[in-house]
A = this chain, B = another copy of it.
Amino acid sequence: ITAEATVVLRENGKMREKSLTMDTLNPQVKAVEYAVRGPIVTKAGDIERGLQQGQKHPFTEVIKANIGDSHAMGQKPITFLRQVVALCSFPELLDSSSFPEDAKQRARRILQGCGGQSLGSYSASQGVDCIRQDIAVYIEQRDKGVPADWDNIYLTTGASDGIVSILKMLVSGQGRSRSGVMIPIPQYPLYSAAISEMEAVQINYYLDEDNCWALDINELHRAYQAAKEHCHPRVICIINPGNPTGQVQSRKCIEEVLHFAYEENLFVMSDEVYQDNVYSPDCQFHSFKKVLYEMGPEYFNTVELASFHSTSKGYSGECGFRGGYMEVLNLDLEVKAQLVKLLSVRLCPPVSGQAAMDVIVNPPLPHEPSYLQFHKEKRAVLGALAEKAQMTEQILNTVPGIKCNPVQGAMYAFPRIFIPPRAVEEAMSLGISPDMMYCLRLLEETGICLVPGSGFGQREGTYHFSLHTLRLESLKLVFQPLHKLLVNKL
């Protein structure tokens, strides 16, 4: 009798079944797929532990390019942000002369907003009031004066938490009236995972790979009309700048999407966590909210919009703090109360993550002592990311059999790989997708962990992989094996 047996005999000879088995597991949980932490990442972890324990592999290090985890890739934290968090965590430091006055001022203000002036108190479920106010001011400045009401701001546990909460509100109905959620393909797999967990209907709209992954409004119409036959499309999700595809949406395209959402009564979810990660000089970040405002009051006062931001990306890269916020627009007042209720069941987002978010929206001003260092560090991070984005594209495009669009923004490349027919057949006969086979071989032979495009979605018959824009050293390391594998082996 092992701990893992599903059925065991009791002493009295009667059977004791396990309560929780693969047969009795919630089928919605079973249906969830989450590629960026899926089987290939698990395998990479196993190999890594093996290496540490002295196992032999044709390489000495596992390079994980599966997720945007900047600090793990060697990016240094922004000093000012960490000073504020440390001051909030241990307020005795407010008396220390080794911390600058502007960091102390931020920390004092945040602590004033916390119960008992402690980061250890629960905040309101929507977040600390003064941080929500700072966020509203930040959004107004970012959007050149478009009004932002802090009553519409909710702190979240990373952006994922906000996205899941809004989706949860929107899922209802059965059969043909079941809620449909439009998502880009390729997508960030949080969306497909949440949709299958909630048993909503996933409506794919395909980004145009031949046009630098742009969103094509005709494709939106096509997807919507087709979906209407079997579900009730209620939401359109946009990721801008794109994850994993790295495109930055044009203002014109955003306006088209918003017009479409307006006409079809769709709720708009705009994932803007990469808003600070725009590298191409031809591109500019436009928030969906700002464009909506510029379309006039008929749009700005009606279209329901939730947009999301995070501490995890941008120049701060603070994933571990799980900080983030969402701003909602035109939400029905009763629905808003329901949203607060839903959030309150989880009590509150981590308050140290809220403090980190506050620094991002309330950085040092030109007259403040930390201004120069803050901007030097910020520029250095964004400059390095821009350089890597460009290098990634260039290096990948030198490999025969790989074609990579420009990485205009975000932190990823999603190159297409042309896998020879006989390798495709081999994969099919093994029962795995060809791009999964490619990524598994790459991992086994080189220690490089990429995620196959099938985890993000791709047009049938095309194959891709997702690559986080790595340290340049790593990128150069990746190049040769990629080349070898694709040209010689597949």
Identify the A interface with B (CB < 8 A).
1-4, 6, 8, 10-11, 16-22, 24-27, 29-30, 32, 34, 37-38, 42, 45, 67, 69-75, 77, 82-83, 85-86, 89-90, 93, 96, 98, 114-116, 118-125, 157-158, 160-161, 164, 168-172, 190, 193-194, 197, 234-235, 262, 265-267, 298, 301-302, 304, 316-322, 329-335, 338, 340-342, 344-353
A96 (CB) vs chain B CBs: closest residue: B98
Given contact pairs A114-B320, A116-B75, A322-B350, A19 touches B169 in the complex (Cβ within 8 A): no
A23 (CB) vs chain B CBs: closest residue: B172
Contact A341 B32 (CB under 8 A): yes
Min C-beta distance of A54 to chain B, whole Å: 18
Given contact pairs A75-B116, A86-B93, A116-B74, A345 touches B34 in the complex (Cβ within 8 A): yes
Contact B115 A69 (CB under 8 A): yes
Contact B22 A332 (CB under 8 A): yes
CB-defined contacts of A8 to chain B, threshold 8 Å: 301-302
Min C-beta distance of A25 to chain B, whole Å: 6
CB-defined contacts of A160 to chain B, threshold 8 Å: 345-347
When chains A and B are docked, how far (Å) is the Cα of A287 from the Cα of B348? 28
When chains A and B are docked, how far (Å) is the Cα of A2 from the Cα of B300? 11
Min C-beta distance of A277 to chain B, whole Å: 16
CB-defined contacts of A349 to chain B, threshold 8 Å: 322
When chains A and B are docked, how far (Å) is the Cα of A361 from the Cα of B37? 28
User: Which of B37, B169, B301, B333 contacts A29 (CB under 8 A)?
Assistant: B169
CB-defined contacts of A11 to chain B, threshold 8 Å: 298
How many copies the complex holds: the figure is: 2
User: Which of B10, B170, B322, B352 contacts A320 (CB under 8 A)?
Assistant: B352
Given contact pairs A86-B93, A96-B98, A350 touches B350 in the complex (Cβ within 8 A): yes
Interface class of chain A by DSSP: loop
When chains A and B are docked, how far (Å) is the Cα of A218 from the Cα of B382? 65
A-B contact pairs, 22 of them (CB 8 A): A2-B301, A3-B329, A4-B333, A8-B302, A18-B265, A22-B335, A25-B338, A26-B171, A27-B172, A29-B169, A34-B344, A37-B345, A45-B124, A72-B118, A77-B120, A83-B90, A86-B90, A89-B352, A119-B321, A120-B319, A320-B350, A322-B348
When chains A and B are docked, how far (Å) is the Cα of A302 from the Cα of B9? 10
CB-defined contacts of A331 to chain B, threshold 8 Å: 20
CB-defined contacts of A83 to chain B, threshold 8 Å: 90
Extra pairs beyond A161-B346, A319-B347 (13, CB < 8 Å): A3-B301, A8-B301, A16-B302, A24-B172, A25-B169, A26-B169, A71-B115, A72-B121, A122-B319, A160-B346, A320-B350, A352-B352, A352-B353
Min C-beta distance of A421 to chain B, whole Å: 33
CB-defined contacts of A329 to chain B, threshold 8 Å: 3
CB-defined contacts of A120 to chain B, threshold 8 Å: 70-71, 77, 316-321
CB-defined contacts of A124 to chain B, threshold 8 Å: 45
A8, A267, A319 — which one has the most chain B CB atoms within 10 A of its CB? A319
Contact B265 A321 (CB under 8 A): no
Contact A71 B121 (CB under 8 A): yes
Contact B353 A19 (CB under 8 A): no
Contact B118 A71 (CB under 8 A): yes
Contact A20 B169 (CB under 8 A): yes
A33 (CB) vs chain B CBs: closest residue: B341
CB-defined contacts of A69 to chain B, threshold 8 Å: 115, 121-122
User: Which of B26, B171, B333 contacts A168 (CB under 8 A)?
Assistant: B26
Min C-beta distance of A94 to chain B, whole Å: 11
CB-defined contacts of A164 to chain B, threshold 8 Å: 346
CB-defined contacts of A330 to chain B, threshold 8 Å: 3, 18
Contact A322 B157 (CB under 8 A): yes
Given contact pairs A169-B29, A266-B19, A304-B18, A345 touches B193 in the complex (Cβ within 8 A): yes
Min C-beta distance of A309 to chain B, whole Å: 16
User: Which of B19, B38, B194, B234 contacts A235 (CB under 8 A)?
Assistant: B19
When chains A and B are docked, how far (Å) is the Cα of A25 from the Cα of B341? 13
CB-defined contacts of A119 to chain B, threshold 8 Å: 320-321
When chains A and B are docked, how far (Å) is the Cα of A30 from the Cα of B168? 11
CB-defined contacts of A26 to chain B, threshold 8 Å: 168-172
A200 (CB) vs chain B CBs: closest residue: B26
